[in-house]
Structure 1
Amino acid sequence: MRNGADTTLSSSNDHHQLLRFLDFFLRLSVIPLSVASLWVMASNKQTNDAYGKVEFSNLSGLRYLVGINAISTGYAIASVLLLCLRCFNSDWYLFISDQVMAYLMVTSGSAVAEVLYLAHEGDRKVSWSEVCSYYGMFCSKIKVSLALHFVALVCFIVLSLISAYRVFSKFEAPSLLSEEVGEQE
């Protein structure tokens, strides 16, 4: 009987070690992904002889993406350091922060997706023509930055699930036995 309990404990410990490794790996992965997305977008500009120069800073959605990528990079570095130092029980902090970062990444990705859609399709109702045929490299760099941002978002979604599991696995499910005893009396 003792051997079965040791096997279960060892399996549980292996499971927690795997989650800890995955958590650390994903946090490290977010750093270069966010920096690359930030860099590609922040260096995005193109000049057209007929229409002039366009830069990422001309569009608020693109500036928002750069800002969120900077925040996500800083947060990822801080969370890696927090995990390495283990100075306090950070499960709740990471859970809430991972959720916030995932939501911010979704909103900034959505803003850029809308800008990219309008750049490709235009909006004839308000007399906006598409611009990607004139600023092809600019639109291509937006796509690359958005793809890198999306991969970082997937990392944050998985991190949110891991941190949620880590926090809520500490609690036991509510007991139905106490409710049943109360009803029978």
Structure 2
Amino acid sequence: MINPGEKDMQEPIDVENGKRHPRNYDVMHAGLRLVCLSASLASIVVMTTAKERSTLSLYGFNLPVYSKWSFSDSFDYLVGVSAAVALHSLLQLLMTSRMLLRKSSIISSKKHAWVLFASDQVFAFAMMSGGSAASGVTSLNRTGIKHSSLPNFCKPLHSFCDRVALSIAFAFFGCFLLAMSSALDVVWLSEY
């Protein structure tokens, strides 16, 4: 049998209207933050370790080629955006964890929910733009330029291109997670 005091510990009260919401909402929010932080950090680590040396055969000449992630402004931008998202996710995870340990609601008011919603949207769009910019460069590297003599650089630099593609995949996954977090914020706003 649960006494009324224990029930209050299980279901946090919305301070603004006195309504209750399920504890699993808070746990899902924390889980999304943790996975988003992991995806952003994975994107950074995989991208910043992307470099390779090889040779390229062009019209019978073997040319040495070297590629590194920092040679492209798009890749720099993706790393910067991923770092900003990782920092945002870490701060939100720390605040969420603190509220979970205190057994109180992770969202204290509608104003707080709107701030979370807006920040999640901004970082989701930033992550999407970083992934899109980087994927354009990667696509060009994989296909070359068909109407000119520039070759497919990913044939000799396949490891580099694969690492960049994996980093971009983590960035888009992080964008999806931020969108899911925004959806949770909308659910909270619609119910309370």
TM-score by length of 2: 0.75
CA distance in 2 between partners of 1:152 and 1:78 (Å): 16
Displacement of 1:19 in angstroms is 1.8
| Number of equivalences | 159
Partner of 2:75: 62
- Out of 54, 65, 68, the residue aligned to residue 52 of structure 1 is 65
Deviations 1:78-107 (A, max 9, x none): 111222345964312211100101101111
Note if contact 1:98-1:163 (Cα within 8 Å) is conserved in structure 2.
no
Bigger fraction of residues in helix:
1
Note if contact 1:45-1:138 (Cα within 8 Å) is conserved in structure 2.
yes
The runs of 5 or more residues in structure 1 that have no matched partner are: 1-9, 171-185
Matching residue's letter, 1:53: Y
Runs of 4+ in 1 over 6 A off after TM superposition: none
Partner of 2:165: 143
Partner of 1:156: 178
CA distance in 1 between partners of 2:128 and 2:22 (Å): 28
Matched, 1:79 2:101: no
Q: How does 1:29-48 map to 2 (within 5 A)?
A: 29-48=35-54
Note if contact 1:37-1:69 (Cα within 8 Å) is conserved in structure 2.
yes
Displacement of 1:168 in angstroms is 3.5
Note if contact 2:128-2:171 (Cα within 8 Å) is conserved in structure 1.
no
- Deviates most, 127-136 or 91-100: 127-136
Partner of 1:183: none
Residue 124 of structure 1 aligns to a residue in which SS? coil
Residue 156 of structure 2 aligns to a residue in which SS? coil
Partner of 2:14: none
CA distance in 2 between partners of 1:72 and 1:169 (Å): 27
Matching residue's letter, 1:161: A
CA distance in 1 between partners of 2:172 and 2:117 (Å): 20
- Deviates most, 139-148 or 94-103: 139-148
- State the identity as a percent: 25
Q: CA RMSD in A?
A: 2.1
Displacement of 1:127 in angstroms is 4.7
Bigger fraction of residues in strand:
2
Displacement of 1:157 in angstroms is 1.1
Larger Rg belongs to: 1
